[in-house]
Structure 1
């Protein structure tokens, strides 16, 4: 598994995966949507002291088109399917998100199968696992109900894309191993100013846009730990056909995050509210407001999440705890002048 393709190399997670792969001596090819992507990736990697840059190559490919995907996978042993075909900031219609998500996922898998790739490690999402469970221990055996009240368009698209992926590789004429990694909210340090959508939560806190803090528990994970679990999933023979939850141990609440920022990063905490949003207000708002419904689901869902399978099968141990994961994300926002 020494020759791999990483889709979406310009992304927050994709860059971290490439950095770690190069450090481990992999021959890495990555897809870019625009020619400018190559220059940007090289600049970011050089700024972060990447090793073995001579082992990195580029090919233009877009998940909305069949062009170049078979070529991108020629001579590759494995594929890290990281890129998303949908930019959710502009998506309001469910069909506009779900159809491209399904098509993009199947496009990757079909090209990989056609190119004799052995294994695809797909970045799915915790939204495909635990958004319908309200008690007990959430594990990789769980699946979110696609009709769950409060499930966002983004989470639903990731859920349906993963289901489509498993259905595709189950066909008798498909000779392809699939592994999915299901990360919770991804924070941690960014290699450049491009960050994950999870950072919007921190931006809303830091800007004062979130004037009342809900009693909202979260599971978080460091982007470096997500990159590491993906590579271990590629390297471990026994992981074929498995799902893995990527999460730091335990949980952290929105109120704890706000207090953490006020305590540890007071120089940027002047707008971080110390006022709480009562649960009854959120519950009442959820009756008429879609955003509040999504917030209520996040509040009510089970946050006792197990990462034990990845520890046991992949020998993966998250290197960052909840507080470190949040603070390094905040520091990235400071570093790249996003706050």
Structure 2
């Protein structure tokens, strides 16, 4: 039996869809306030269970006859009021999954993030051996993913059969107006300014496919793999989306002082609207960072070919329209 945590999320639901298409039965966890995607709610091969990953005993009840675990559940936030909860969910939840996999001799594929990797040195691509720099400034989300990944490495030392994947920014049709899909809404409304940084992008279907391939290849264990299709500048990414939506592309590069003003203005506006700010200090800093990641290891080990980013964006634009 297969267990997927975070089954209602963008990646989790895509993974479940691929597993049931292959005829696999799945037990999937969800929060009590989560909405199960249409098509999966009453599927005969999916058993939905309300379980908080930070509740060890609730998780323990699910592990009867579980041989394979895909740990997708995590909280992503760059808002200060969410930091304590995010650290608790991501680190404590992963600790419970690792301990239960050890106890029940289950194989684990853990979804980490490029946020848990170190920074590029001398303009080299970030790879699996680019290690975390304790002295460098990190977002709380990065810290939560790094610490949760450390729980998996601790389990591997204790005998856990596990593989870690580090996806870059996950995009793909079906995200709607959430996550990376917000870029389409921003361009649709009109955007004149673009941040100066660059980013790695990977299609959600590729991430799910590679996870299944790694789970099924029992010779691969105790390894981590960056999952990244291409590295693109924010300018080029936004220009591509603008063309697909037949909208003007942003032409003004946001300087650091402009981003500094913008996140402070967003914070001030949020005080009056009683909503979370659309831009924070951490997201402003991330948007200006020049990030580039290597996918050589996963290509060399399993020969995987990623979907080109322009195809992903085209599929997202059709879905958005």
Range into which the TM-score falls when normalised by the shorter chain: 0.7 to 0.9
Q: 1:219 to 1:115 in 2, by over 3 A?
A: same
> Residues 213-228 of structure 1 correspond to what in structure 2 (within 5 A)?
213-228=194-209
> Aligned pair count?
308
Within the alignment, does 1:64 sit opposite 2:44 as a pair? no
Within the alignment, does 1:164 sit opposite 2:151 as a pair? yes
Q: Distance in 2 between matches of 1:277 and 1:82?
A: 35
User: Gaps spanning 5+ residues in structure 1: where?
Assistant: 48-52, 335-339
The alignment partner of 1:75 has SS state of coil
User: Gaps spanning 5+ residues in structure 2: where?
Assistant: 266-278
CA deviation vs aligned residue, 1:270-310 (integer Å, no higher than 9, x gap)? xx552222546468769x9994565445544441x221211
1:184 alignment counterpart: 168
The alignment partner of 1:225 has SS state of helix
Q: 1:45 to 1:100 in 2, by over 3 A?
A: closer
Tell me the C-alpha RMSD between the 2 structures.
3.0
> Residues 1-339 of structure 1 correspond to what in structure 2 (within 5 A)?
3-34=1-32, 37=35, 40-41=36-37, 43-45=38-40, 53-84=43-74, 86=75, 88=77, 91-92=80-81, 94-117=83-106, 119-133=107-121, 135-149=123-137, 151-171=138-158, 175-190=159-174, 193=176, 195=178, 197-208=179-190, 210-248=191-229, 250-266=230-246, 269=247, 273-279=249-255, 281=257, 291=280, 294-303=283-292, 305-318=293-306, 320-334=307-321
Q: Distance in 2 between matches of 1:205 and 1:194?
A: 12
Q: 1:35–1:60: 8 Å Cα contact kept in structure 2? A: no
Q: 1:201 to 1:143 in 2, by over 3 A?
A: farther
Q: Distance in 2 between matches of 1:95 and 1:54?
A: 37
Q: 1:141 to 1:94 in 2, by over 3 A?
A: same
The alignment partner of 2:202 has SS state of strand
Q: Distance in 1 between matches of 2:123 and 2:188?
A: 31
Q: 1:331 to 1:154 in 2, by over 3 A?
A: farther
Q: 1:134 to 1:218 in 2, by over 3 A?
A: farther
CA shift, 1:247, in A, is: 0.8
CA shift, 1:136, in A, is: 1.5
Q: 1:233–1:239: 8 Å Cα contact kept in structure 2? A: yes
